[in-house]
Amino acid sequence: MLEPRPYTEFDVDSDESLEAMAHVRSLLDFIGDDPEREGLIDTPKRVVKAMNEHFWGYRADPTEPLQRTFSEVENYDELVLLQDMEIQSHCEHHMVPFVGRAHVAYIPSGRVVGLSKLARVVEIFSKRLQVQEKLTAQIANTIQEELRPQGVAVIIQARHFCMCYRGVKQSQAWTTTSKLHGVFLQDPAARMELFTLIGSNPGGR
């Protein structure tokens, strides 16, 4: 269970929100609809509120969840794998969703971090405009830099809506990306253990 999200809601009555709503009205007009009709009259406000939910990651510090670590773990120095975290992000090219799952593994070096904190790092970077490759690298690099473990691996498997309903129309395609640090890069046995645990079937086992 995650703690409450560390962000403040947009103030829908602020000048910035009102300006954003005006832009949404322009878009509604641009696509050929009537922003003043009953069904659309509150849409700009709803869109701005939805953006608050989709993009709160800009208003959170991804290093913050990793500041509290624990050392009383009986010198545990084996693989810790947090698997099948749901991710919902938006591609920065089309601003449409990509959804899937993330697996985060690390091998501690003396100190461990709460598992929900790893999930929080994934969530913060997801709630920004992304490309999957960048999202994968940002999560791995942040954990590596903050925890200095023996190794970090981040694997993301996702479906991109912009590939489903526009362009190449590949509705069933999964994209897999991975970013490895430390022992996962250097030691084939560590890498093998990881990929065996995760399984090699993207999207479901």
Contact residues toward Zn ion (CB under 5 A) are: 91, 93-94, 162
Nearer to Zn ion, 90 or 179 (CB): 90
Q: Are 148 and 110 in contact (CB under 8 A)?
A: no
Q: Are 87 and 128 in contact (CB under 8 A)?
A: no
- Positive or negative, the Cα torsion across 174, 179, 185, 187? negative
Residues with Cβ within 8 Å of 75's Cβ and at least 6 positions away in sequence, in order, are 110
Residue type, 119: A
Nearest approach, Cβ of residue 154 and Zn ion (Å) = 20
Nearest approach, Cβ of residue 89 and Zn ion (Å) = 11
Nearest approach, Cβ of residue 134 and Zn ion (Å) = 13
A 10 A CB-CB count for 172 gives 8
Name the residue number minimizing CB distance to Zn ion.
Answer: 162
Nearer to Zn ion, 91 or 140 (CB): 91
Nearer to Zn ion, 17 or 89 (CB): 89
Nearer to Zn ion, 91 or 121 (CB): 91
Nearest approach, Cβ of residue 98 and Zn ion (Å) = 7
